[in-house]
């Protein structure tokens, strides 16, 4: 019984992560099209595109965090040594991606505030 509930929770979290990512991508596409059609100088368009990139990056980061939570819950359900090693690898990779993406978002944000 508990395994079915946890499996359902894991499925919901994975689906939620995909939904977060799709919403972010859809919003970024809409903003990009508005930005390109809206006109302005190349520099203005570039600055707005950096804002769109930062905005999309925040959705990607949130999606990754939800996936990490899902993986942790799944490993708690099946705590074999192989599962723990796989989870460790996944968490390290996703954490590295999250860290570097977060740094890029932060640097982009700082660069826009200076200009």
Domain definitions of the chain by residue range: 2-114
The count of residues in the chain is 115
Tens of pLDDT along 69-83?
888 888 877 777 887
Tens of pLDDT along 22-39?
999 999 999 999 999 988
Burial (0-12, 13-18, 19+ Cβ within 10 Å), 2: exposed
Burial (0-12, 13-18, 19+ Cβ within 10 Å), 1: exposed
Tens of pLDDT along 89-111?
887 887 888 888 878 777 776 76
Mean pLDDT of the chain: 85
Q: How far apart are CA 86 and CA 48, in angstroms?
A: 39
Read off the pTM.
0.74
């Amino acid at each position: 019984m508990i395994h079915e509930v946890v499996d359902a929770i894991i499925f919901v979290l994975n689906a939620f992560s995909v939904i977060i990512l799709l919403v972010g991508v859809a919003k970024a596409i809409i903003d990009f099209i508005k930005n390109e059609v809206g006109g302005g100088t190349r520099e203005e368009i570039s600055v707005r595109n950096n804002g769109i990139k930062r905005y999309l990056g925040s959705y990607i980061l949130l999606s990754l965090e939800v996936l990490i939570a899902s993986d942790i819950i799944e490993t708690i359900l099946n705590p074999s040594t192989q599962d723990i090693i796989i989870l460790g690898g996944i968490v390290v990779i996703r954490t590295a991606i999250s860290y570097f993406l977060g740094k890029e978002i932060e640097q982009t944000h700082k660069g826009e505030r200076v200009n």
